[in-house]
Chains A and B, each alone.
Chain A
Amino acid sequence: MRFGWSPKDTSVRIRGVAKIVALVFIALYAGLYIWAPFSDTGDAIVINLLLVIAASLTAGVTTMILRRYEPTEIARRIWLYFAIGLWLWVMAELTFGYLDITREEVAIGIPDVFWAAAYIFFAHAIFLQYRLLAQPNKQELWRLVGFAIAALLVLYVLLYRVLIVWVGAESQLNAAVNSFYPVADLFLAAVAIWLIRHFRGGVFARPWLGLLAFSFTDLLYAFIDTSGIYDQASDWTFLFDTAYIVAYLVLGLGILAQWAFLKYGLRSPD
């Protein structure tokens, strides 16, 4: 190995460095958020840039996993769709950041198209992962898919009604979009828990632990955003914005752990 390290040492060091970088990244983000050393625009640029970098790192690591599989493998397709989803989130963060810097308030629009589209790719990746793991027959598969779609639709309609009737959403579009994220996040969280249970104790569980962390954070974000807490309390805003970037990094670290295992795992010491 380069530097005379064994594959195992290399893997441990890469993951160790990544954890330190992630901690420094979070500290930097929190510090900039609290002390806001630049002008309003400058702070907004840096904060949004850090978020885009965190999302890009996660998507980048996911893309690296693709190279660990051969083109015909199903696992490669799973990670391909997952990577596409994460890159769409990068696009969402980028456009959101741009709008956040250039406009006073970001309304529902282009970033939401990227965010929402990403869930389609995640759902497809998860569908492939489920098929690979559970090996269901056609009947079982369609029954489960049908049940999942029906449950998610019911949940979506319920939430939409709550937002329209009780919370008093600004518009129907607002309610429709804001109902979508919690439902989609719940779906991701449920699948992540199922996958973690299956891969319990293995490195392959870590990306899904990251996804679970992300889903919960996003779910909380959706809640405080819809309830108006996000715009009122700066402490809560700081907490959830930081949690959001932490979730990206946790997801990235989880995926990195799998990448490191695929690249360096099960190699005999030199």
Chain B
Amino acid sequence: MLNISAFIPETHRDISSGYVETLIQARREELFTGLMRLSYSSGENLMFTFLEGVQQKLYRFLEHSIDVIPRQSWFDKLDRVSLSAGFLSLPVEGLRFMRMVCEAPVVRVENSSFDPGALIDASRKWSVDQEPRIVHVQSNVVNKYCLIAGHSTPVIEELTFGAGGARFSISDASFSYTLPKADYLVTCYIGHSEHPVWRQYELRMAFNPLLRMLLNRFSELAGRALTGRLCERLAVWAGEGGWNVAITSNGIVNHQYFETLENAVAFYTGLIRCFQAEASPALGARMTDGIARDVLIKLDPYRRELLTRYIYSPSGVGSIAGVV
């Protein structure tokens, strides 16, 4: 099973629960974003996630699964003697990645051994597969995890562990081109795309091209200057809502850590509503809907269905005529 906490170096050994509290307090004060590993002499491993100093979740690594420990039980879990702790700093994107690793249920595990050439072929196959997977690629010199959502999602997110910590990066199906020549032990943790954690990931991947294309189309019709101001308005709306995103005429850079799929859907729906409200006075409601229809039709059927189901739904911003 994915015991990713094993890659967090232990920096404090044989410490008391009181000292753990002190360490946590220090991380809160420094607005730490990343992971905190707690290992007990019994062999039990726990992991906290921190977002800007705020503890988000506590995971317990079991032999075959990872539990999410409810917040009310956190104190009981920490109230022990003799434990070890370690920290791993991560960007928000890395923290989102870890949430996927810890919360996406695994349907089955496939182990294989590949050279880089075979890995390229395999990763291309996985990227068009119907099933999403977390891929762990290991060799003497490489230790990385990749999120491959399948359904021709062009982006592959990677988290690479090394001596200097963990590095988050974005790649595509050809990510293994950069790997040094070696034999790689590859473990695929295959999930199912209907799970909310994967849904949230896929929705984020689908929303980026949607918004970029909406803004491009608006720009074609209304000009770049007005589009720039529209983006400012959208950014103000997002800022007022406390959403950690940057919106420019090139689209959205999403640094938000959504705790649930519902939160993510609420944000995306709100942003599209804001776009409609701002674009309609210029282009009219019909044209604004027309833009959305054109953009949705241009997207591939899987992402179109996803966006129609969660955003352009009667409970979202409303369905768009002519888009199935």
Contacts and interface: CB of A to CB of B under 8 A. Distances in A.
A73 B286 CA distance: 23
B298 to A, nearest CB: 10
B323 interface: no
Interface in A38-68: 68
A70 B227 CA distance: 12
A135 B294 contact: yes
Nearest to B232: A268
Given A74-B220, A135-B294, A266 B283 contact: no
A5 B226 CA distance: 20
Interface in B192-232: 220-226, 229-230, 232
A146 interface: no
A261 B281 contact: yes
Contacts of A197: 286
Contact of B222 (A200, A201, A204, A268): A204
Interface in B253-309: 278, 280-288, 290, 294
A68 B220 contact: no
B103 to A, nearest CB: 38
B214 to A, nearest CB: 15
A69 B248 CA distance: 18
B225 A70 contact: yes
A13 interface: no
Nearest to B225: A68
A261 B285 CA distance: 16
B283 A204 contact: yes
Contact of A199 (B224, B225, B287, B294): B287
A69 B220 contact: no
B233 A266 contact: yes
Interface in A249-270: 261-262, 265-268
A165 interface: no
B281 A205 contact: no
19 contacts: A70-B223, A73-B224, A74-B220, A75-B221, A76-B223, A133-B221, A198-B290, A199-B287, A200-B284, A202-B280, A202-B283, A202-B285, A202-B287, A204-B283, A205-B284, A262-B226, A266-B282, A268-B232, A268-B236
B286 A198 contact: yes
A122 B226 CA distance: 24
Contact of B282 (A69, A135, A198, A204): A204
Given A68-B223, A69-B225, 8 more contacts: A69-B224, A70-B223, A73-B220, A73-B223, A198-B287, A198-B290, A204-B221, A262-B225
A199 B287 CA distance: 6
Contacts of B220: 73-75, 132
Interface of B: 220-226, 229-230, 232-233, 236, 278, 280-288, 290, 294
Nearest to A201: B284
The 8 lowest CB-CB distance pairs between A and B, nearest first, are A202-B284, A201-B284, A266-B229, A199-B284, A69-B223, A202-B283, A200-B284, A200-B286
A201 B276 CA distance: 13
A157 B285 CA distance: 40
Contact of B285 (A68, A70, A201, A268): A201
Contact of B284 (A68, A69, A198, A265): A198
A23 B284 CA distance: 27
A141 interface: no
A230 B286 CA distance: 41
A176 B82 CA distance: 102
Contacts of A70: 223-225
A75 B284 contact: no
A219 interface: no
Contacts of A120: none
A265 B137 CA distance: 52
B232 A199 contact: no
Contacts of A68: 223, 225-226
B109 to A, nearest CB: 47
Contacts of B232: 266, 268
Interface in A182-206: 197-205
A201 B229 contact: no
Max count, chain A CB within 10 A of own CB: residue among B223, B224, B285: B223
A265 to B, nearest CB: 6
Contacts of A135: 294
Given A262-B223, A266-B226, A266-B229, A203 B285 contact: no
Contacts of B226: 68, 261-262, 265-266
